[in-house]
A and B are shown apart, each in its own frame.
Chain A
Amino acid sequence: MLHLLEIRNLHVKVGDKVIIKGLNLIIKPGETHALMGPNGSGKSTLSAVLAGHPSYKITVGLLRYLGKNIIKLAPEKRAGKGLFLAFQYPQSIPGLSVEEFLRTAYNAQAEIKKNKKLNVLEFRQLLEQAMAGLKFKIEFLSRSVNDGFSGGEKKRLEILQLAIFKPKLAILDEIDSGLDVDALKLVAQSVKRLVTAKMAVVVITHHQRILHYLKPTKVHVIMNGKIVKSGGRELIAKVERSGYEQFIS
């Protein structure tokens, strides 16, 4: 099967600091990968690099998405090609309503994907369908993007975007952080419902709980900018039991 994402010997610098140091990862359509690791191990850096953050410089390595080198591809172009990052810390945009934001983004992606753009009414329909199950009130749409949102609301807005953009590859960066048990369940079940047979998902997390819902096909442990261990779901329990230190070689 064609690789959806292919990362080989990736080295990434922010400023003068090398954060990712020779990372390898292959993801195929339909797979769910869990990426676990301690703070500062490079998890969030990896997600930012995949989405094309301009501050992160790839010094060495190969990064291919859908068979093409995307190192120089702008973030918006990656989004248009079905790469989606759910942010650990979604940014607030005061004065920009959720609905306008989502519609503009949807249509911007539609243009790149050569899909039909939707007018206000058409998009509203799509939006209302996508919102069902995420426990949003309709008033939510007129609020400013992430402005004054609770932690749970921010994460649910990320999931709502997952539902609307229907990416090929979804990277969920600590989508479970800062959520209480019920909110976590809602988020995790929503993700599960939204993942289609062809969609690949990378779940970046500290905790096993969300992985109980999402049942990853592969689990990786990342430490000090490298994947130090890969395996199946048995790794989750191992991390849970004995922490990350055991993987230091």
Chain B
Amino acid sequence: MSRPSKTILNDKYSYGFHDSVKPVYSLSRGLSQRVVEEISSLKAEPAWMFKLRLRALEIFKNKPLPTWGADLSSIDFSKICYYVKPSERRESTWAEVPTKIRNTFTKLGIPQAEAKFLAGVGAQYDSEAVYHNLKTEWKKQGVIFLDMDSALREHPDIVKQYLGTVVPLADNKFASLNSAVWSGGSFVYVPRGVRVNIPIQAYFRLNAQNMGQFERTLIIAEEGSFVHYIEGCTAPVYAVDSLHCAVVEIIAKPYSHVRYTTMQNWSTDVYNLVTKRAVAYEGATVEWVDGNFGSKVTMKYPCVIMKERGSRVDVLSLAFAGEGQYQDTGTKVIHLAPDTSSNIVSKSISRGGRASYRGLLKVASQALNVKSKIKCDALLLDEKSRSDTYPTIQINASDAQIEHEATVSKVGEEQLFYLRSRGLSENEALSMIVSGFIEPVAKELPMEYAVELNRLIRLEVDGSVG
């Protein structure tokens, strides 16, 4: 189990957190050139990064809010605190843990049986041990795994070479905002031919390093390398000012294989507006597993650009829209080269909320022999829930093989009755139906994540654990 959860188990939300609220250093609220200057100078950044931030800030100011998807008009950019000094941030944010997340962790952590269970998993999957063992092995082979701030200090050339190449500053308003004020995030560099066979897990490290709400992640897999990067889960990841704008850029060089897994649970007042994108070169494989829980609004469209021949993409995504939540998610795949293929499975569950699939499939005219399969399944748990599918398909090549399938199902009374007639309570029955629905996603996750995902589902479905 994850490091953060263990800490929580041990500390049981000791009141100490409450006493250490005051951030030692935080910028005044609102966004201005001065704020950007301060962020940059506090980090002692190179001049090029500072200029990049300023350019991004200008673009951000001039770009209108998107007019599609969720209503974002109530975000007040002048009320947001764009920078909290990292070394203090963890404590301050712990004290500000919203009640719902606190309850989640309390529920996850308190029962003794759960504690035992977690310890058992922890003994087998001790993240820390894995981390330390790997660390030397990685280093020897030239793998770099740092937070972005350190990466910028220690490897400025690599960062400069790649940052903003996959998600340009002007990509969208929130990518511009991130580029202007980013802080934290992960940097992963895997040299040619190196295969990192154990997943690189970002959550505990990010916790220690204080993950920001404008984190910037850059993953570079050189030719023939392999890496599996995981982040999120129910780690204490949540925004201070209810706006989370991350940017993730992934570069999969020829014949590399990158798997990116993220499983996030946000506090229900957060606007989660992130831009995540990968570029796949010749023969490269990008696999994406993306889970979204919580938040008030999530707008997230993982995108993979298949730039060269023979690249391949697999995307599995899952969104859960609870009471009053709006999950607007989808996958964008862009086939620019021949013999490329994409396979997308998108699952959404709505319970009192709204889940939309907004996907894009684009096949360029020169991209011959493209195969793409898109499957969107929505599961509605009650009458209030809503699900929409907005697929955009643009095919400019003559011979693309495209499959698109969308299903919406409601948990039926007959299904529930069938399970109840076998001895399961109504909530148990509902949990089993939902767990079954997300099984294609859960089975792609490392064991401890799958366990946690199922527990999250149970929490969402019946408010209990185990």
Residues on A with C-beta less than 8 A from B420 are 52, 74-76, 79
A76 interface neighbour in B414, B415, B425, B432, Cβ under 8 Å: B425
Contact-size category for B: 20 to 34
In the complex, given contacts A74-B426, A75-B421, A93-B432, what are 20 additional A-B residue pairs having Cβ atoms less than 8 angstroms apart? A48-B417, A52-B420, A55-B413, A74-B420, A74-B425, A76-B420, A76-B424, A78-B421, A84-B421, A87-B418, A92-B415, A93-B433, A96-B432, A104-B432, A105-B419, A105-B423, A106-B423, A109-B423, A161-B422, A165-B423
Q: Which of B412, B426, B432 contacts A101 (CB 8 A)?
A: B432
Q: In residues 412-457 of chain B, which contact A (Cβ within 8 Å)?
A: 412-415, 417-426, 428, 432-433, 435-440
User: Which listed residue (A53, A80, A95) contacts B423, Cβ 8 A?
Assistant: A80
Q: How far is the CB of A114 from chain B (nearest CB, A)?
A: 13
Complex contacts, A48 vs chain B, CB 8 Å: 417
Asked if A108 and B428 sit within 8 Å, CB to CB, the answer is: yes
* 0/1 string, A85-96, CB within 8 A of B gives 1: 101011111111
16 contacts between A and B (CB under 8 A): A74-B420, A74-B425, A76-B426, A79-B420, A79-B421, A79-B422, A79-B423, A91-B414, A91-B417, A93-B433, A94-B439, A95-B437, A101-B422, A104-B424, A108-B428, A144-B436
Q: What's the nearest-Cβ distance from chain B to residue A141, in Å?
A: 15
Residues of A within 8 A of B (CB): 48, 51-55, 74-76, 78-80, 84-85, 87, 89-96, 101, 104-106, 108-109, 112, 144-145, 161, 165
Complex Cα distance, B417 from A90, in Å, reads: 10
Whether B428 pairs with A94 at a CB distance below 8 angstroms is no
The answer on a CB contact under 8 Å between A54 and B417 is: yes
Residues on the B chain within 8 Å of A112, using CB: 423
Q: Which of B143-171 contact A (CB under 8 A)?
A: none
**Across-interface contacts of B413 in A (CB, < 8 A):** 54-55
Q: How far is the CA of A28 from the CA of B425 in the complex (A)?
A: 28
Residues of A within 8 Å of B417, CB to CB, are 48, 51, 53-54, 75, 91
Nearest first, the 4 A-B pairs at minimum CB distance are: A95-B436, A95-B439, A96-B436, A108-B423
Cβ-defined contact, A90 with B424, below 8 A: no
Q: How far is the CA of A109 from the CA of B424 in the complex (A)?
A: 8
Closest residue of chain A to B433, judged by CB? A93
Q: Across the interface, which residues of A come within 8 angstroms of B419, CB to CB?
A: 91, 93, 101, 105
- Please, which residues of chain B bring their CB within 8 A of the CB of A108? 422-425, 428
**Smallest Cβ-Cβ distance to B347: which chain A residue:** A95
* A74 and B419 alpha carbons, distance in the complex (Å): 12
In the complex, which residue of chain B has the Cβ closest to the Cβ of A110? B423
Residue in chain B with minimal CB distance to A147: B436
**CB-CB nearest in chain B for A93:** B436
CB < 8 Å neighbour of B428 from A53, A55, A92, A104: A104
A76 touches B423 (CB 8 A): yes
* Interfacial chain B residues near A105, Cβ < 8 Å: 419, 422-424
Q: When the two chains form their complex, are residues B424 and A95 in contact, meaning their CB atoms are under 8 A apart? A: no
Q: How far is the CA of A89 from the CA of B414 in the complex (A)?
A: 10
